[in-house]
Structure 1
Amino acid sequence: MTRLMTEMLKGTLEGIVLASLAGRPAYGYEITAGLREQGFADIAEGTVYALLVRIEKRGLVDVEKVPSEKGPPRKVYSLNAQGREYLEEFWGAWSFLTERLEQLREGGE
């Protein structure tokens, strides 16, 4: 992954993770694996876990501890109402930016 791609991903990873949770609850490794399957191959688990802690503290997700067959209970994250509102705001900002960037690429104003 290029440095530019890494920097752009940092700014959008929160929205990407929330979008992945919009479909169904998941635990950290599951989220990371799903993102890798979607082409985000260079995302480190530690990055996702740190982001999950931040969005949990901000109240964007609900967390449930679920027993695991291997080791301690897993924290399963699900998007709550506040997280859904934030995700809607993210998609609005994303749409605005992509429209403007496309205009710029095409040489328009």
Structure 2
Amino acid sequence: MTPEELVEGFHSGALATASFGHREHVQLTWILLVRDGRARAEEQLLAGLRAFAARAGKPDKFDAALTRAWIAAIDEAREKTAAITFEELIAARPDLLHGRLSGVPEAPL
């Protein structure tokens, strides 16, 4: 899936649960942070992930505090690494794909 397809699928609600694992969560967050800035990215992710969890039949899996913590961690990594691409970010910070960061709870979806 291309980055454009990921964003479009997320916003349209067409993204299949099986196609949206942790890596895709991190990639989508990175894309929105780069494209729209922190405040707008957070707004989109909070609303979109809440809706995604509900569509997946797991509304209790959505956690706004956890989502904000991951957004902050990814944004901080993006700023500190000066990564130009998502792949550069992951090369510099592979821990972002492990689903667990120091001080940030495990990703629920």
TMscore range, shorter length? 0.3 to 0.5
Scaled by the length of structure 1, the TM-score of the pair is: 0.39
Report the structure, 1 or 2, having the larger strand content. Answer: 1
Report the structure, 1 or 2, having the larger helix content. Answer: 2
Scaled by the length of structure 2, the TM-score of the pair is: 0.39
